[in-house]
Amino acid sequence: MTRRGKPYNPNTVNKHLKLLARILRVARKWKLISDVPEVGLLKARKTDFDFLTFEEADAFIAAAKQHVPHWHPFVVVALRTGLRVGELIALRWREDVDLVRGRVTVQQSYNPHNGFTSTKNDKIRELPLTWDAIAALEAQREFVDVDSELVFPGADGEVLSANKTNEVLAEISEAAGIRRIHNHCTRHSFASHAVMRGIPIRQVQEWLGHGSIVVTMRYTHLAHGIGDDLIRRLAPPTPDDAAKSQHIHSPQIWRSPNSGSQTPIDPLN
């Protein structure tokens, strides 16, 4: 049970059970025990994830620029890179950001318990930056102290906290007139938008830094209809054929969970 008296989420319990199984295997390898008992996992439900529609993301960015302009670069970079909040906090100007090439290299993360560490899967990855992410980083470079090593430092040059970013995102959500947004929602939004724009799932996995493509596959249901357009490239229709089949080219409707809004999307636009 949690401190609040509620049962732990099955996914959380399974993480600890997997760790226990790993410890037992090491113990057997070191001949501390003779056999490894079977460690069964709980049946976990597939969890839904929340993401911003394209219009909501635009409204969110606009609200940040209007109401908390010094947080605008953070919001843009979060939505355009899909970095985990710890990775955003740990970004450094000299080692990680290349505005000339339009690239950011993710080499480390941060959490208050362990400080600066390697990324979640101990992998270094490089991401290309969108034009607005580059502009946001250029603005941030002008805003922060010239001696700041971190791209997004906290108050008085201290390390930014995930709790603080959550508070600010909630404030921006209210200003934008949308539901409360949390840190990981920006990552889900980036992944969802990439898939909805027809970016291959393997590329999305690489950008997100997922250790397994199974994790990235949770977003594939958003790619509905993209395969239809891709297969047509094998035999492009003539103008007459296209006119006869206009009814199958209607835009798809995407709905963000709990958003109550619908957005027509052309996945390959």
Active site members: 84, 120, 184, 187, 210, 219
CA dihedral 97, 101, 104, 107 (to 10 degrees): -80
CA separation for the pair 163, 172 (Å, rounded)? 14
Report, in this order, helix, strand and coil percent for the chain, each rounded to 5.
Answer: 50, 10, 40
**Largest interatomic CA distance in the chain:** 75
Q: Extract the runs of DSSP E, i.e. beta strands, from 53-160.
A: 97-98, 103-106, 109-111, 115-117, 125-128
Please list the residues that pair with 116 across neighbouring strands.
110
d(CA 216, CA 78): 18
Residue 235: CB atoms within 10 A of its CB come to: 7
CA angle in degrees (0–180, nearest 5) for 167-170-175: 130
Structure tokens at 147: 């001696």
254 membership: H or E segment, kind and range: strand 252-255
